Amino acid sequence: MAIQPGASVKSKWDRNRSLIGRREEYELVSGTNLVEEAQVMVAGGTTAQQATTSVTGAAFGDALPLGLAINGKILATTFVNYESGTVPAASPYTVTLEHSNLVTNSYSTFADAYVYDVTASSELEVAAAAVAATSVTLNVSTGVMTFDSNEAGNSFYVRYRWTLTTIEAREILRQSAIGRGSEDTFDKLQVAHEHCIMYTSMFDCDAPWVLNQQTGAAVAGNPVTGAGGVLTEYGNNNDGTCFSRVISLPSANDPYLGIEYNADGNIL
């Protein structure tokens, strides 16, 4: 039971619905930056296989995905939120999100957010200026969305990542104390390996995710390894290696992206 309104016991990945084929322990490549649970891990090392987080700029097929990180402690700095609403009928055409301090997308200077105009059945690109029927501005620091006047009265939904405050990390995700995991002590990490179903919050929110798309080729919309261990889409932000297929989309009552994968160097 939540101890404050809006708080609940969550994690970076949904432990209730996720199914892990095998938990495989890997030594970490020196300098690997583990900042959150469920980061996408790929193979590295020089004399023996080690694990490191996926990075930006990887050419298609260069990375060998190992699976999602399962940390020895609850480790979280960001989380995902989904909101719906209506653009005001009169100026100012602004809406303030429930959370501020939004995450900036790794591949742009704008917020990692996806905005959809339900009334017009079209995506609104998060950009520097609000243009009718094509874009919206989103202030990363304050969470204020500004729409064009032509959007007045339209319904919309938005999904985004924000940086957790210390209190949010404790109350929403029950983040553990520092120093409890083997990754801190021994530079090792358990990874959800082989055939897995994972419900994760480590995905690019600005990607137009599609159910079941999977071709194993450089095709727009395919889930691929991304910057900072964040799953993204080919052609949207990054040209990384195909990894997983989407089995569940985020919604108002479910912030997680459901994925299924075989972490053996191949897609399902």
In a domain, 35, yes or no: yes
Q: Verify that 154 and 28 share a domain, yes or no.
A: no
Q: Verify that 54 and 112 share a domain, yes or no.
A: no
Arithmetic mean of pLDDT over the chain: 85
pLDDT computed for residue 81 by the predictor? 95
Query: Of 163, 180, 200, which one is at a domain's C-terminal end?
Result: 163
Q: Verify that 129 and 183 share a domain, yes or no.
A: no
pLDDT computed for residue 10 by the predictor? 67
CA distances from 75 to 61, 87, 109, 164 (A): 29, 35, 25, 11
Query: Distance between CA 133 and CA 201 in Å, rounded?
Result: 28
Q: For residue 59, what pLDDT band results from cuts at 50, 70 and 90?
A: low
92 prior amide bond cis, ω within 30: yes
Domain range for residue 84? 78-163
Q: Verify that 94 and 38 share a domain, yes or no.
A: no
On the question of pLDDT at 182 being above 60, the answer is: no
On the question of pLDDT at 183 being above 80, the answer is: no
The most confident of the ranges 11-20, 112-121, 161-170, 220-229 is 112-121
Q: What total number of domains does the chain contain? A: 2
On the question of pLDDT at 52 being above 60, the answer is: yes
Share of the chain above pLDDT 90, in %: 50
Q: Verify that 62 and 87 share a domain, yes or no.
A: no
On the question of pLDDT at 189 being above 90, the answer is: no
pLDDT computed for residue 235 by the predictor? 81
Residue type, 193: H
pLDDT computed for residue 199 by the predictor? 95
In a domain, 148, yes or no: yes
Assigned token pair, 184: 């801190």
Q: Classify 105 as helix, strand or coil.
A: coil
Read off the pLDDT of each residue in 4-33 and give the average, rounded to a whole number: 80
Read off the pLDDT of each residue in 195-220 and give the average, rounded to a whole number: 88
Q: Verify that 126 and 200 share a domain, yes or no.
A: no
Query: Of 163, 195, 210, which one is at a domain's C-terminal end?
Result: 163
Helix (H) or strand (E) holding 186: helix 182-186
Spatial neighbors of 197 by CB under 8 A, at least 6 apart, are: 17, 18, 19, 247, 258, 259, 260
